[in-house]
Structure 1
């Protein structure tokens, strides 16, 4: 599931990713995301991966489709976490979500928000 973070404002939006993602998670996120893109034109995105437990097989497909649909609308993307695979995930994000994607350790989440707002 995606939980919107309170630090979100304007075209800078963040989500805590919790549990194992399935297509229904992307279906719930899509209307909010689409409305934000329509309002702002493009967005800057933060994903806090601390509670992420992976994705179902169909979840990976939904993730890919979601990323391809909104790829040109995400200016910057910050991936926040503490594992090597989350850092690796940032490289995939460059192809699927935003060409300007960076990894930040959880302790540096405030730096991630600052970078997105620059």
Structure 2
């Protein structure tokens, strides 16, 4: 599930992610991304991954399509997680984009919030 979190920054999509992410979950992000782009801003992301298990196949495909369509519209991304594979996934994302991407352990969530809001 993707649970959207409140954010004071108008170009930040902030979410808590858990379980397996489906296509429908990824599609919830489309209008949020488009609203930020219409304002002429880069889209920043804050993803807190708690008990995150990955994607369904359709969810993974939808995420790839979304990222491919908007990769130049993305700004900073921060991933806060609890498992080593999540850090590796964040580093892999960094390979495919020019966005600034950082990973923080769950214990350092406040540092992640400061970084994304700077």
**TM > 0.5 fold call:** yes
The TM-score bracket by the shorter chain reads: 0.7 to 0.9
Number of residues of Structure 1 aligned to a counterpart in Structure 2: 118
Q: Counterparts of 1:7 and 1:106 in 2: how far apart (Å)?
A: 18
Q: What RMSD over aligned residues (CA atoms) do the two structures have, in Å?
A: 1.7
* TM-score, L = length of structure 2: 0.87
More displaced stretch, 34-43 vs 57-66: 34-43
The answer (yes or no) to whether the contact 1:68–1:96 under 8 Å persists in 2 is no
Q: Which residue of 1 aligns with 2:3?
A: 3
**Which whole-Å deviations, capped at 9, do the CAs of 1:48-82 have from their partners, x for residues lacking one?**
11132211112111111111122111111001001
* TM-score, L = length of structure 1: 0.87
Q: Which residue of 2 aligns with 1:110?
A: 110
More displaced stretch, 48-57 vs 5-14: 5-14
Q: Which residue of 2 aligns with 1:22?
A: 22
Q: Which residue of 2 aligns with 1:81?
A: 81
Q: Counterparts of 2:96 and 2:49 in 1: how far apart (Å)?
A: 17
The answer (yes or no) to whether the contact 2:33–2:43 under 8 Å persists in 1 is no
Give the ranges of 4+ consecutive aligned residues of structure 1 lying more than 4 Å apart after TM superposition: none
**Which whole-Å deviations, capped at 9, do the CAs of 1:18-60 have from their partners, x for residues lacking one?**
2211111111221122112222521221111113221111211
Structure 1 unaligned spans of 5+: none
